[in-house]
Structure 1
């Protein structure tokens, strides 16, 4: 067990999971969240086999399976019917699958578990900065007395300003594309779907994913709806585009979605999502560590955000012995190959799916579907989706 307690800033997937895994090892944890009354909301998530293993280690996988929906396949095509993506988890491993789950359901489980473990949760505590010395870290909080801890973990998202206080080469650049999303109840007779996407070049993309129920007592299953938009159109889309026109664009690209769209009646049902590309030369600086999107934010195309956050928490806890600077340095070494690969893959693939590019999506449409039918390429593609690759040619994550 490491020296005395740690502060974690941010109660999202990364922060909550890290609090749980460390508390399970007897580490005193204080969790700081800026929102006064955080509620478990958010888009649907696809938990990969690796993330599922972390939930199993926390004793939460059975509950997640009861709330979520098993996803065996990802299929994406063009309006003309040309297959672009067709990946089956079973071709990766006979027992592998993704788990579509509502973010609110996942956060509800994590928050309940950390309370059971006695994590001290400080809501409405906005962290404004920190100073570290040889003995610990002082966390400055808005309208509160500074808090002193042996170490600090930053888990407050891609757009974290606290990260800038780390003496590490870094950049955080907003992606030029975002999205609107919602979870809608599946209408009667709506077919059970896998993760389904349709693309028009790289300028239009719609995604549908079954995400199960927000609460055990819910009768209706939810379908997560995702619609890609450039930031120039995302800002003020309600006045600029309007809900009716947006629904028309969705139905034109993917007519099969029309029955689902009857449940989308008000623009307030759609939430906006913005992303950033976060790069750091390393994720630790003495007694301070960045994890989750704060450390390695990337586009949503690979569907790895929550998965990486869970893995970060698990791998950090595996190194939790000795002094905190040593713990954090070993963690960074442990995570380097895995995170570097997914950061590179995200940068290379995103222009093919969310951009105004012409050549990249043209090549995608003509070669992805064909290449995916080759056993080796399909195996590498589904291994990437499953969250286990640590290099372009070889290497697998071992949890």
Structure 2
């Protein structure tokens, strides 16, 4: 395909990675960001072998590994009897896979620093409210009356609350999830939790507390962990009214060992309330506007796939553009390449979420007794490892990627 002029809406991880992939392929990109200063949103995330492979293909593997913390296991117990109800190990499958716990800011910094070093343009303080196609070009309508363009292609990487996808003919139906979570990023003393595990505690399905070690955002900073507490979004204001100390005391009752984390929280402003919605754009493009990441699909964070899916999206889009002569053909190929992987993990996330975030005592009972037992019987450990790593079906071929050789990379486990 001839070189294109491409507008990328949003300077989050998906938008920044898209710029790196596409400029490397010879296209020209403009990143359009609504905020005056691009910045990360949120506390922490898990980079799976899928997302790590995408970053490695961009030459950013060493940088993100230096900032993150290797995770080899997802481990959870219920609080009443201490019964193990979650124990997923990446090494249940051969190949040496692992996850990487990272601060969202570390992922943002890694991509943003690379975009800035290459002097790819980022236009800040411009809120795109619409796209108009005229002839062979697309024009962006910006809040305040300005018009940008023409562009050959528009990539919407503006996230789950994208106004562009909502106004498009392919707008999905969104189902807001009842449960969200408070998140905080805190210094993590040695020995507090298993540094190689995402550790969780549950009381039925209505209470979930987790600690994810996420390394250090910068080399000179202390090691950190993300603390999260699941709750109904509608109850968040009431929880705040009851006071911070009462909330902390509730966590102490379930998990007293979290005290070194709790004592660092002195203000509600240290906690971010995350809200989640389940939505999938069945055809992730309309005209010459294509949707990637949370703009195209979003769900609960139970399987830890969000950022990884976004990175796979932009890799698949760049691969499709490189392999076809027309934009129409490339967008159809992009949609086909991502369809099975996206829909499978949307389905799995929707199926798993009620077992961990719901009012159902029955589902919690099944989880604590039946599911936990079945999960130890082959091939269940292998299937669960494939689900968590994002590789239950091949996500790499359609994105033109080859999975990393994890054993050769030999990233050390946390000490």
TM above 0.5: yes
- For residues 363-378 of structure 1, the aligned pairs below 5 Å read 363-378=366-381
1:41–1:278 distance in 2 versus 1, CA, 3 Å = closer
Partner of residue 49, structure 1: 49
Relative to structure 1, the CA distance from residue 396 to residue 51 in structure 2 (aligned partners, 3 Å threshold; closer, same or farther) is closer
Which range moved further: 319-328 or 154-163? 319-328
Q: Partners of 1:318 and 1:236 in 2: how far apart?
A: 48
Superposition RMSD in Å: 1.6
Question: How many Å apart are 1:41 and its aligned residue?
Answer: 4.9
Cα distance, 1:91–1:189 mapped onto 2, change above 3 Å: closer
Determine if the alignment matches structure 1 residue 353 to structure 2 residue 374: no
Question: Is the Cα–Cα contact under 8 Å of residues 192 and 258 in structure 2 kept in the other structure?
Answer: no
Shift of 1:169: 5.4
Change (3 A) 1:319 1:124: same
How many angstroms apart in 2 are the aligned matches of 1:20 and 1:142?
27
Q: Which runs of 5+ in 2 are unaligned?
A: 402-415
Matched, 1:111 2:99: no
Q: Deviations over 1:1-28 (max 9, x none)?
A: 4442111111112111111111111110
The separation in 2 between residues aligned to 1:93 and 1:2, in whole angstroms, is 41
Structure 2 counterpart of 1:258: 259
Distance 1:235 1:9 in 2: 32
The residue aligned with 1:58 is: 58
Q: Secondary structure at the match of 1:227?
A: strand
Could you tell me the TM-score, scaled by structure 1's length?
0.94
Give the aligned partner of residue 136 of structure 2.
135
Structure 1 gaps, min length 5: none
Shift in CA distance, 231/42, structure 1 to aligned 2, threshold 3 Å:
closer
TM-score, scaled to structure 2: 0.91
How far apart, in 2, do the equivalents of 1:235 and 1:29 lie?
42
* Cα distance in 2 for residues equivalent to 1:335 and 1:110: 22
- 1:290 is aligned to 291
Of stretches 288-297 and 353-362 in structure 1, the one that deviates more from structure 2 is 353-362
Q: Which residue is equivalent to 2:27? A: 27
Whole-angstrom CA distance in 2 between matches of 1:260 and 1:145: 47
What SS class does the counterpart of residue 302 from structure 2 fall into?
Answer: helix
Query: d(CA) in 1 for partners of 2:280 and 2:226?
Result: 29
- Supply the distance in 1 between the matched residues of 2:213 and 2:97 (Cα, whole angstroms): 17
1:40 is matched with which residue? 40
Q: Distance in 2 between matches of 1:69 and 1:5?
A: 37
Distance 2:86 2:396 in 1: 23
Deviations 1:120-146 (A, max 9, x none): 101111011112245121111112521
The answer as to whether partners of 1:130 and 1:140 remain within 8 angstroms in 2 is yes
Residues 193 and 199, structure 2, Cα contact 8 Å, conserved in 1: no
Q: CA-to-partner distance for each residue in 1:153-192, whole Å, 9 max, x for gaps?
A: 1111112121023222521222111111011101355344
Tell whether the 8 Å contact from 1:76 to 1:196 is kept in structure 2 after alignment: yes
Q: In 2, are the aligned partners of 1:319 and 1:327 still within 8 Å (CA)?
A: yes
- Number of equivalenced pairs: 393
Tell me, yes or no, if the aligned pair for 1:190 and 1:260 is still in contact at 8 Å: no
SS of the residue 2:35 aligns to: coil
